[in-house]
Amino acid sequence: MQNVTVKINKATVSVPAGSSILEAARVAGIEIPTLCFLKEINEIGACRICMVEVKGLRNLVTACVYPVSEGMEVFTNTERVRRSRKLTLELILSTHDKKCLSCIRSGNCELQHLCKEFGVDDEDYFKGENIQYDFDDSVAHMIRDNNKCILCRRCVAACEAQHVAVIGANARGFDTHISSAFDKDLADVSCVSCGQCIVNCPTAALVEKDDTAAAFAAINDPSKYVIVHTAPSIRVTLGESFGMHIGTNVQGKMVAALRRLGFDKVFDTDLSADLTIMEEANEFIERVQGGGVLPMITSCSPGWIKYCEHYYPEQLRHLSTCKSPQQMFGAICKTWYAKRMGLDPKDIVVVGIMPCTAKKFEAKRDNQNASGYPDVDIALTTRELARMIDTAGIHFPKLPDEEFDNPLAESTGAAVIFGTTGGVMEAALRTAADTLTGKDLPDVEFKEVRGTQGIKEATYNIAGMEVNVCVASGLANAHEIMEKVKNGTANYHFIEIMACPGGCVNGGGQPIQHAVVRNFRDLKKLRAATLYEMDKNLPKRKSHQNESTKRIYEEFLGSPGSHKAHEVLHTSYVRRPKYK
């Protein structure tokens, strides 16, 4: 591609033709502030924070969408530009709920950051009518507060990118607000709880429902035995909440923090990820050998499951009946572990630390109560755990590395990579290949299903059978694959689908990074790379090599796919209307 030469604040840079001023400034080492811009998702130039001067032009232009041209001279920090940005911020604040001290995003709010940078305080610069909106807390996973909305439309773009599109701009002019069709509550539309709107919101207009108080209450209740378990991806994202580099492995510090918070046992969800593979691989083999419904599709992502229930209810028979690792872990805790420890399941509180807001919805689903009590009582996001650690006065970066508690601590590399797109598929293939060939195959890496691209396809020869697999992440890509399944043109045997682009490492419950980071750094790739490195360095890399899961089968479940295993580890699905 041909390059053009431009000057940004007198610095000469060469960038590809068609680049925006925002991108060219980045090459020049200059950050231009934005509030609405999300690369490839929301390139609309609506917030007007990124206005810059271009020599020869009378009006300021929006840097995020204005293309550079040969010889262009741009000025990003003139008095005129600064006045424009400050005025825009003052106008935004004129209708904004400015209760920053008690706001859950205080300290990590893009609007707050810019107001501080440009010297804008909470005075009423433009007094007048101000609409007050009611909270929408109708769903299990989030709260919508339009009093803190700045109409950047990032959430709308994220929802559209997910091929869900249940929110948009309603009304016009001063009355414009973001809502569902006919201002319905989120519970009355086909929201899938993925939380991508939350991680892309620059303010606290959208936040997860905070269940930290319930977790603290359980910990402080002497009649409760409180177990916490942590999903694979949390160990490579939690550190970001404490200023550590993206993708830092903080597993040991995470365990130490959870122990200091007062949980009775700190276990690893990776164990039930291995358990999931034992059940899922067995289910796949049974379908292949017994003429079952193919392609079989993974069931670990509750956002994807809800999407399928709403948008492809006639295809539910393709879903694996396996519970997710979160739910399997809770089920094992309240059945096998409870019996082993002489505990009454009603006294056990299971807390899952998850990358995903949809896990809050999943924990409340029907047929998720193997012991007669909910498998999981409380599902917390990575962000909520970070808040608990802060509230408890724990200095996270200074903590020593500690180990998970036994007997639910052991896991394999196959479980670790569950946290990224393609990981479940690769883990399942490792076990299925060994099972079908009856050999301990030395080649455990299926690299064709790795990577952060939205759709990956591969064919593997396993025990003389050509197995066609597909991996999709992000619901727009899920839609593309499901249309093939619906039309009978999907020549696959096994499909992995994750609701969030890039998988759990980019889940709706992960630490919020400002747009300046999300636009120019590949969070998915950086976080996933650490998971693959952990897998590479573990002594056991196949789920069926996990001695703890073997013990659970020997003492309790019998064998993968057994009647008992189905009672405890499998679930069912429901047809949901696309719109209520």
What are the tens digits of pLDDT across the range 189-244? Answer: 999 999 999 999 999 999 999 999 999 999 999 999 999 999 999 999 999 999 99
By DSSP bridging, strand 168-170 and strand 177-179 are antiparallel
> What residues does CATH 3.40.50.1780 cover in the chain?
213-569
| 47's tokens | 């917030």
CATH topology of domain 3-77: Ubiquitin-like (UB roll) (3.10.20)
* Inter-residue contact 203 to 111 (CB < 8 Å): yes
Write the CATH number of the domain with boundaries 213-569: 3.40.50.1780
Question: Is residue 1 predicted with pLDDT exceeding 90?
Answer: no
pLDDT at 130 over 90: no
Are residues 208 and 145 in contact, defined by beta-carbon separation less than 8 angstroms?
A: no
| Mean pLDDT, residues 457-468 taken together | 94
Mean pLDDT of 472-480: 98
Residue 357 identity: T
pLDDT of residue 458: 97
* pLDDT average, residue stretch 284-297: 94
Question: Region 492-521: what's the mean pLDDT?
Answer: 96
Q: How confident is the model at residue 580 (pLDDT cuts 50, 70, 90)?
A: very low
Work out the mean pLDDT of the chain and round it to a whole number. Answer: 96
pLDDT of amino acid 128: 80
Q: Check whether 579 has a pLDDT greater than 70.
A: no
3-state DSSP percent of the chain in helix, strand and coil, to 5: 40, 15, 45
Give residue 111's pLDDT band: very low, low, confident or very high (50, 70, 90).
very high
CB 335 within 8 A of CB 370: yes
Would you say residue 382 has pLDDT above 60? yes
Could you tell me where in the chain the CATH 3.30.70.20 domains are found? 93-208
Dihedral through CA 461, CA 462, CA 464, CA 470, nearest 10?
-50
**What's the rounded mean pLDDT across residues 319-336?**
98
| Level-2 CATH architecture, domain 93-208 | 2-Layer Sandwich (3.30)
Across the range 146-168, mean pLDDT stands at 97
